[in-house]
Amino acid sequence: MNPRSDFPILNKTINGETIVYFDNAATTQKPQIVIDAVSNFYTNSNANVHRGINPLAEEATKLYEDARATVAQFIGAASKEIIFTRGTTESINLVARAWGEASLQAGDIVVLSQAEHHANYVPWLQLKEKLGIKLAVIPVLASGELDLQAAKKLLAEPRVKLLTLSQASNVLGIINPIKELFAEARDLGIVTLLDAAQTVGHLPIDVLDLHCDFLVASAHKLYGPTGVGILFGRAELLAKMPPFLGGGGMIASVATDSFVAGPVPEKFEAGTPPIAEAIGMAAACDYIKQVSWTEIIKQEETLTEYATQKLVERPYIKLLGTALKRLPVFSLVINDLHAHDLADLLGQAGFITRAGHHCAQPLHDSLGVVASLRLSLSFYNTTEELDRFFSALDQVYQSFN
């Protein structure tokens, strides 16, 4: 498999060196088929959707709703259960406001993990301030795995109403036992939310198999455009939730003193939606099916094994989270060198990495680490790129020691 030619940006050079793009956990690169889908919409079909009675509006609406159907099928959902949003962060906020404010009361408990992204912390902290709910945090073991014994103990508390977890940490890359924990929650009558931002581009997802009540994801981590993502919600939950935003497109009728919301999914898509971006997201789903999950997983398993061996060979590197069931995501602490300095020096040689707490400050605090250097890989990366990276890292480290 050689998909690199599908991604034009991978030919870019920095200071004469072809880039090595190892920042896929932040955003993935885009294949030409996705770029073309967005461009073709603006070139040939650009119009607003749903409300225009003219041929161009009808064409745009069909493309938009076809995109919804494609994305729904990609995760095993029904079209009416897919809400297009600006991305994972907005999707979680939608659940917090529309479901949380209507369903939670002071003293109710939301369970999440120590390794969650800020997008899965802050909306619940805001509800804590507004409603007086409580947050219960599942600890992370030294291996990077969730403490399952502690998790099950927390879920058994009588006022737990929601379990909200990432399928894999954007820092540790460790894949969490979502099916097991969600089954436990379901048996206790607890609503579940899955943050699939990190896994949607690495692993096949089936919402029916996972039995999640809500799922959130972003297109830009799925080789699609920025500025669009999805909220999946079980139809019966979405039907009961009040609108998140008010305006055009989300109403059935409006009077001077009242309004009636429209049906799902329109109820949650006020204003002009991300039309071109949704079409691009659908093209990304089609592209992944074209490459095939079998090939993607095979290549990423090879990269994960190869990178792990390279790390083991270098005692000056500490890997955060050592569990084997993981994505090709590695956050590193280098002896006596700050992650920001490393990212800058490596970047000048064409290596695109990320440094900081990666919007996971509670996790870094729990590990006693201020910042880490993250390399996150995709199926379009190669072992040769890893060789180049670790050779450059060795040179940087040796120049300071």
Active-site residues: which are they? 359
Helices in 328-400 by DSSP H: which ranges? Answer: 339-348, 361-367, 383-399
User: Backbone dihedral region of 59: left (phi > 0), alpha (psi from -120 to 50 degrees) or beta?
Assistant: alpha
User: Backbone dihedral region of 105: left (phi > 0), alpha (psi from -120 to 50 degrees) or beta?
Assistant: beta
Cβ within 8 Å of residue 254, ≥6 positions away: 260
Report the run of H or E that residue 184 belongs to, with start and end. Answer: helix 178-187
Please tell me the distance from the alpha carbon of residue 111 to that of residue 124, in angstroms, as a whole number.
Answer: 10
Calculate the dihedral angle through the C-alpha atoms of 114, 117, 123, 126, rounding to the nearest 10 degrees. Answer: 50
For the chain, what is the radius of gyration of the CA atoms? 22
SS3 state of residue 263:
coil
Cβ within 8 Å of residue 388, ≥6 positions away: 20, 351
Please tell me the distance from the alpha carbon of residue 117 to that of residue 95, in angstroms, as a whole number.
Answer: 16
Cβ within 8 Å of residue 196, ≥6 positions away: 166, 167, 205, 215, 216, 217
**Type of residue numbered 181:** L
Closest CA to 262 of 248, 272, 273, 274: 248
Please tell me the distance from the alpha carbon of residue 92 to that of residue 124, in angstroms, as a whole number.
Answer: 9
Calculate the dihedral angle through the C-alpha atoms of 27, 33, 39, 41, rounding to the nearest 10 degrees. Answer: -110
User: Cβ of 195: how many Cβ atoms within 10 Å?
Assistant: 30
